[in-house]
């Protein structure tokens, strides 16, 4: 039985050393994986920053386009009013000069 104890001790030591070696490999693999993930995260952060910049730029352009559209709508309304006034003047002149009377457009 005395011989059995040293063998058990050797087996235990061998098992512990094998486990330590496996753990060392696993830890190295985890470090490498973490390094890859950190690099990927940095790239993703950069892309997100770029997307935020693009969105901010687009929002600014949309505001400018909205303002320009409002101004165009106002100008178009004013032009329509002036055109209707001109049509009325031409219609009155034509009637005064004996031309046909204007009929309303649909």
pLDDT at 3: 64
Q: Is residue 106 domain-resident?
A: no
Model pTM score: 0.55
CB-based contacts of 29-32 (< 8 A; 24+ apart in sequence): none
Range of the structural domain that residue 52 is part of = 1-100
Q: Is residue 77 domain-resident?
A: yes
User: How many residues appear in the chain?
Assistant: 106
pLDDT at 36: 98
d(CA 62, CA 60): 5
Phi and psi angles of residue 97, each rounded to the nearest 5 degrees, phi first: -90, 10
Q: Look at the chain and report how many structural domains it folds into.
A: 1
Per-residue pLDDT of the chain (106 residues; tens, 9 = 90+): 456 788 888 999 999 999 999 999 999 999 999 999 999 999 999 999 999 999 999 999 999 999 999 999 999 999 999 999 999 999 999 888 876 655 665 5
Buried b (16+ CB within 10 A) or exposed e, 68-87: eeeeeeeeeeeeeeeeeeee
């Amino acid at each position: 039985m005395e011989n059995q104890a040293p063998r058990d001790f050797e087996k235990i030591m061998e098992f512990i050393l094998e486990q330590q070696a496996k753990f060392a490999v696993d830890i190295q693999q985890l470090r490498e994986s973490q390094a890859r993930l950190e690099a990927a995260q940095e790239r993703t952060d950069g892309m997100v920053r770029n997307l935020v910049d693009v969105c901010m730029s687009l929002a600014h352009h949309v505001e400018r386009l909205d303002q320009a559209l409002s101004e165009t709508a106002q100008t178009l309304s004013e032009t329509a009013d002036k055109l209707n006034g001109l049509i009325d003047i031409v219609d009155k002149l034509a009637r005064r000069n004996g031309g046909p009377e204007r009929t309303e457009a649909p």
